[in-house]
Structure 1
Amino acid sequence: MGNAVATDNQLVEIAAKVNQRLRITDDDARWLWKNASDADLCSLAGVVRSRFHAPDACTYMVMRIINYTNVCVAQCDYCAFYKLPGADGGYVLSHEDVFAKLDELRALGGDLAAFNGGFNPQLPLSYYCDLFASIRARYGDSIEFYALTIAEFLYLADHAKLSYGETAERLKAAGVRWITGGGSEILTEDFRARHSKFKYTVDEYFFAQRAIVEAGLKTTATMVIGFDETLDERIEHLERTRKFQDETGGLASFLCWTFKPYFTQIGGIEITTSEYLRHLALSRIYLDNIPRIRTSVLTQNERALDGLRFGADDFDLPIEDEVTQKAGATISLDFERILTYARQLGYAPVYRHVANASQ
């Protein structure tokens, strides 16, 4: 009984903090993960969610991730997509290839594309600037695009021997408005040493993201769970993200998805949807300064919409992403079935147009 009372008291104290808009600590986050029920997490996440969104409100986008190249020298052990330079099967998309994918996206009602490739030493900065300028000239504001991830941006700046600020300005002049927080996975140095030793450090990641914000570009936060990361590593990732948002206010959203282990070097067993949803709720409670928390249909299919009860308010309906599909993700184009599930949960999904919008 003594332990039960202490547990109840701790939950009451954390709930009081959340209700009074006081920030939870790392120790609070650890306690919630280990002790709080799903119902407790849903309730607390709902309190923070309600500061930004109506209880039954949620938004979605129809989007496509365009993998413009699969050539990469990073050699991350969790990736089933990349080909080393010179290997059979390597490719780089032409402008016409990209336009065809964008036209198909528009035909399916989408208006957002995200570009994700890798560290391709054969592609100079001019390739990216020419590609993005041609997209902006062809489509104007009818399509928006997330140009590169921060990880790719880091490699591109290094390869071009330019500062992060100079690289951001070059891309901005080519019509780029967004560079997303992709390539973060788990933002701890130990994780990177274990799994992506040729990627950039956590400090370099945030230095680059700060330069992106200072250049007037928009950006996001991302996180991938389900490798071999510890609870402390997950919390460190959230802590560094919250701190960056405190300092810059530059993060429009936070998206978390799950690692797909199939056909990867690291392998392993995919974590359960239940674990994903609990982490989503913990993220919503902890990241009290980020307005939009996004749940991942790409990796969780329609079960991702249960995340709306765990603090999320937004989701993608993706039509393609070779990186996650190569590792076992499946994609459904039956958008109405997925939206119907959201409505059955009590939410009223509204299409969120990113093109020419603030977020």
Structure 2
Amino acid sequence: MGNAVAIDNSLAAIAAKVDKGIRIDAEDARWLWKNASDSDLCSLASTVRNRFHAPNACTYMVMRIVNYTNVCVAQCDYCAFYKLPGASGGYVLSQEEVFAKLDELLALGGDLAAFNGGFNPQLPLDYYCDLFASIRERYGDSIEFYALTIAEFLYLADHAKLSLPEAAARLKAAGVRWITGGGSEILTEDFRARHSKFKYTVAEYFQAQRAIVEAGLKTTATMVIGFDETLDERLEHLERTRNFQDETGGLASFLCWTFKPYFTQIGGIEITTAEYLRHLALSRIYLDNIPRIRTSVLTQNERALDGLRFGADDFDLPIEDEVTQKAGATINLDFERILNYASELGFTPEYRHVAGSPA
């Protein structure tokens, strides 16, 4: 009886904070993760969500991740996609091949492309600038594109021997408007030492993201869970993200997805959707300064839509992403079925046009 009363009192104290808009701290988040029910987390996450969005509203996009190359020297042990330079099966897409993928995206009703390819030492900065300038010239505002991830941006600047502001200026002049928070995975130095020792440090990651914001480009926050990270590491990631948003206000959204372990060096067992949803709710409660929380259809399929009950307000319908597909993700092009599921949950999905939009 005494323990139950203590739990009720602790939950009430945290709920009172959330109701009043008082920020929770890592200890509160740790308590919620260990003790709160799914129903409790749904309720608290929805309280924060509803400060930014109408309770039954949600938005979505149709998008394509264009993996322009699979040649990469980062050698992250959680990646099933990369080929080392000179290895059989390595490729680089031509502009015409990229255009064909973008034309297909438009034909399917989408208007957002995200580029992702890793650290290819054979590609100079001019490859990217020429590609992005050509896309902007050919498609104008009919398509928007997430040009690179933070990790790729760091590699390109380093490879071109440019400062981060100089590299950001070059890309902006080529028509780039977005460089996303990809390449974050879990933002602790220990995690990177265990799994991606040739990738950039957490400090360098945020230095690059700050340079992107200061250049007038847009960016996002991302997170991947389900490796071997601890709860403390997850909370450190959220704390760093919230602090960065406090300092810059530059993060348009936060997207979390789950690690797909199949055919990777690290291997392992994929975490459950139930764990993913609980983390999504905790993220929504913790990241009280980021307006848009996105749930991952790419890694959770239609079950991702349950994330709308756990604090998310947005999702994308992907038509391709070789990186996660190589590691076991499956893509469902039956968009109507997925959208119907959102409706069955009591939400009204509305297409969110990124192309030509200021946000």
Same fold (TM over 0.5): yes
Letter in 2 for 1:63: M
Letter in 1 for 2:66: I
Rounded to whole Å, the distance in 2 between the matches of 1:155 and 1:3 is 52
Aligned to 1:106: 106
Aligned to 2:121: 121
Aligned to 2:261: 261
Q: What percentage of aligned pairs have identical amino acids?
A: 88
Aligned to 1:215: 215
Shift of 1:328: 0.1
Q: Would you say 1:225 and 2:233 are equivalent positions? A: no
SS across alignment from 2:27: helix
Aligned to 2:334: 334
Rounded to whole Å, the distance in 2 between the matches of 1:41 and 1:163 is 43
Q: Would you say 1:76 and 2:76 are equivalent positions? A: yes
Cα deviations across residues 251-283 of structure 1 (Å, max 9, x unaligned)? 000000000000000000000000000000000
1:128-207 aligned within 5 A:
128-207=128-207
Shift of 1:6: 1.1
Q: TM-score, normalised by structure 1?
A: 1.00
Q: Would you say 1:2 and 2:2 are equivalent positions? A: yes
1:3-82 aligned within 5 A:
3-82=3-82
Aligned to 1:315: 315
Rounded to whole Å, the distance in 1 between the matches of 2:177 and 2:195 is 30
Letter in 2 for 1:31: W
Shift of 1:351: 0.2
Rounded to whole Å, the distance in 2 between the matches of 1:101 and 1:46 is 37
Aligned to 1:234: 234
Shift of 1:4: 1.3
SS across alignment from 2:11: helix
Letter in 2 for 1:219: T
Which runs of no fewer than 5 residues in structure 2 stay unpaired?
none
Cα deviations across residues 61-90 of structure 1 (Å, max 9, x unaligned)? 000000000000000000000000000000
Rounded to whole Å, the distance in 2 between the matches of 1:18 and 1:118 is 39
Rounded to whole Å, the distance in 2 between the matches of 1:262 and 1:30 is 29
Aligned length: 359
Segments ≥4 residues shifted beyond 3 Å: none
SS across alignment from 1:50: helix
Shift of 1:129: 0.1
Rounded to whole Å, the distance in 1 between the matches of 2:163 and 2:352 is 34
Rounded to whole Å, the distance in 2 between the matches of 1:355 and 1:218 is 13
Rounded to whole Å, the distance in 1 between the matches of 2:189 and 2:7 is 33
Rounded to whole Å, the distance in 2 between the matches of 1:325 and 1:150 is 21
Aligned to 1:279: 279
Aligned to 1:297: 297
CA RMSD of aligned residues (A): 0.3
Which runs of no fewer than 5 residues in structure 1 stay unpaired?
none
Letter in 1 for 2:161: K
Shift of 1:175: 0.1
Letter in 2 for 1:200: Y
Shift of 1:358: 2.0
Shift of 1:165: 0.6
Letter in 2 for 1:36: A
Rounded to whole Å, the distance in 2 between the matches of 1:163 and 1:58 is 39
Aligned to 1:346: 346
Rounded to whole Å, the distance in 2 between the matches of 1:199 and 1:9 is 44
